Amino acid sequence: MADTGRTADHSADAGDAPGEVAEAGAAQTPKPTAASGPAAACTDGPVPPGSGWPDDPAVPATPVARSPAEVSELARGATTLTELAARESVCRACPRLVRWREQIAVTKRRSFQSDCYWGRPVPSWGDERPRLLIVGLAPAAHGGNRTGRIFTGDRSGDWLFASLYRCGFAAKPQSVAAGDGQRLLGARMTAAVRCAPPANRPSPQERDTCSPWLAAELAQTADCVRVIVALGGFAWQASWPVLRAAGFALPRPRPPFRHAGEVGLTVGAAGRPVLLIGCYHPSQQNTFTGRVTHEMLDAVFLRARQVAFP
C-alpha cells in the first residue's frame, strides 16, 4: 500500500471502532423516522429487511449470500442496480464482519444509545445512471453501520457531502440519516467492502469475498460512468482487479496511489475513456492534521465534474 494513502485507509466513512466482541442475533426494530433519523427507544439489533427503514432496498424474500460462491452468483444474477443493492444489503458471507456489525448495533456508541442501528451491509446508493462513481473503503461502525447509508452520519461524511454539494454532485451540504432528503446528482457511492470491519480493517479474504458486488455495479454502470474517484489507498488497490473483472482495460504496471493522481482507463468494444482519480480519504485523522483540506477535496471533485459533464 502506498504510503501516501495510508492514513486514509484506517477509516471507512469515519468513526472509531471498539474491540471485537461476540455475536448478537437480529431483533425486530421499529420504523425509524426520516425527519430525525433512527427512532428513539428502538429494539437493539440489525434492522430486518422490509421492516420500514427509509430507502431499505431489500424485502424479506431478498436472497441472502452466505458464502463467497453465493456472493458471485447473486451479484451476477442481479439485473438492476436496485436489485443488486438489495442483495448487497442482506449478505452474510463473512462471519467475522457479520458478528461485528451486529454486535455494534446492540452495544452502540454512548452518544447514539437512543438510535436504532442499521447493522447490515451498507449498499451502494445514488444516481441510477451516474457519471461519477465514488469508491470508499467500508462503512464505519457508528456511521454507515448506524444510518444504513454510506458516508452518512459522521464527520468524514460531513466533509465529503459538503464538497460534493459545492461541486454540484449533491442536493444538500449534509447527510445525517437515510430518508433525510439528500440526493446525489449524477453520482453514486459505493465501497470495496459493504460491512463495517473491526478496527476499520477488512481482511484480504473479506475484500475479495465482497468484490463481486462492486464488479457487478461497475459492469452495470460501465456505459454511463465517466469518472471514478477512489477514496484512499485501500479503495485504490481494491478497485483494480474489480475494474478488470467488469471489463475495463487497465494500464500496466498499476500506478501507485496518490492524491489527485489520474489514470486513463477504457471500457467497452469502442474503448470509451474513463478517468480514475485518487483522493485522500476525508478521515478525521487526515482532516485534523491538514493532510486533507476542503480545497483539496473540491479540486478533485471539480476535476471530476469537468470530465463527467464536459
Contact indicator for 28, 48 with CB cutoff of 8 Å: yes
The 10s digit of each residue's pLDDT in 69-122 is 999 999 999 999 999 999 999 999 999 999 999 999 999 999 999 899 999 999
pLDDT, residue 58, reads 97
Please give the pLDDT value at position 200.
87
Domains and CATH numbers, the chain: 3-308 (3.40.470.10)
The kind and range of the H/E element at 135 are strand 132-136
User: Is pLDDT of 36 > 60?
Assistant: no
Quote the distance between the C-alpha of residue 180 and its chain's center.
18
Which element (helix H / strand E) includes 267?
A: strand 262-267
SS3 state of residue 264 = strand
Bigger pLDDT: 289 vs 18: 289
At 133, is the pLDDT very low, low, confident or very high (cuts 50, 70, 90)? Answer: very high
Q: Give the model's confidence band at 4: pLDDT under 50 very low, under 70 low, under 90 confident, else very high.
A: very low
How far is the C-alpha of 198 from the C-alpha of 46, rounded, in Å? Answer: 17
The average pLDDT across 246-275 equals 95
User: Percent of the chain, pLDDT > 90?
Assistant: 83
186-204 tens-digit pLDDT: 999 999 999 999 988 999 9
What is the C-alpha to C-alpha distance for residues 230 and 274, in angstroms, rounded to an integer? 13
Distances (CA, A) of 44 to 105, 186, 309: 6, 36, 44
Tell me the pLDDT tens digit for each residue of 154-167. 999 999 999 999 99
Does 218 score more than 50 pLDDT?
yes
What pLDDT sits at residue 90?
98
